[in-house]
Amino acid sequence: MVMSKPVACSRMYNLSPRIRGLWDALFALASSQSGIKLEIIAHAAPAPLSELWARPDLGAVFMCGYPFSRMPEAARPTVLAAPVSSEAWSLDQPLYASHILVASTGPVNAVADLAAARWGWTVRDSQSGYHAARSYLAGRFAGTMKQITTVGPLLNPSGIVAALKDSRIDAGAIDAYAFQLLSMHEPDAIDGLRILATTDPLPAPLLVAAQTLPVEITTALQQSLVALHETPEGAAVLERLGLRRFSAVTPSAYDILPQRADDTDRRLGIPW
């Protein structure tokens, strides 16, 4: 028996009060259409995301695919859906990528400069802010890099952006969808930065619910999310967030993430 309302949280993409308000509107609509009352929370930084994901009352909460994939299958939360961005890198699928960002007037002018750059990273269990950068470097400089200078943890995309603007780092990777949201709603935040490269698309962060929620609740929430784009109101909410729709995904789609991370450890050849 559920004693309190399940929580909804877009913390991974709460990049500003304005953007959080757009997510709150989406959750409110999903709650209304599903008939499931949700408590919308912020779980604001610097509160650890791991604490959010461990809550027993998750109703619709964004979770990075990498820590999800590292969990034993029996311990994983219930998968609801993943977003499909309107940007080309999504391939019109529930995929995302990372943008390699540099300062427009900084020391990095070309991909070749990245081997000697000071790299910023968010947290070590982040696909977009840590593993994507390492994989990118391993794919281009495998066996040739002797050392690397890194700065972190910088916690989230905003930390990467701030460090680039303050010249504390020369390069950093951030979630391409987070960059899309900033471009749409907070362009001043990324003024003076440019995208040097974009990584290969991989399974996007997903909305999850607690295993302990009754199946009728998770089913109703999932059905509401994947059908949002079918109504004018839902399509408008999604468009303001740069999304085409939410799509159902399978947990096994995320198994590629730890495989790539382990392969990167072997190919990179230096500690990071």
Q: Which domains does the chain have, with CATH numbers?
A: 7-85+204-254 (3.40.190.10), 95-202+259-268 (3.40.190.10)
Give the residue from 243, 212, 210 showing the smallest Cα distance to 228: 243
Give dist(CA 154, CA 251) in Å, integer: 28
Predicted pLDDT at 2: 43
Burial 208-237 (b: 16+ CB within 10 A, else e): bbbeebeeebbebbbebbbebbeeeebeeb
Predicted pLDDT at 271: 86
Predicted pLDDT at 191: 98
- State the pTM of this model: 0.96
Predicted pLDDT at 1: 44
Cα 103 vs. chain centroid, distance in angstroms?
22
Predicted pLDDT at 146: 84
Predicted pLDDT at 75: 94
**Side chain identity at residue 116, one-letter code:** A
Q: What is the mean pLDDT of each run of 10 residues along the chain (272 residues)?
A: 81 97 98 98 94 96 98 96 98 98 97 96 97 96 88 97 98 98 98 98 98 97 98 98 98 97 92 87
Terminal CA-to-CA distance of the chain, rounded, Å?
A: 45
Predicted pLDDT at 3: 55
Q: Which two tokens mark 244?
A: 């085409």
Maximum alpha-carbon separation in the chain: 58
The CA distances from residue 219 to 215, 216, 250, in Å, are 6, 5, 14
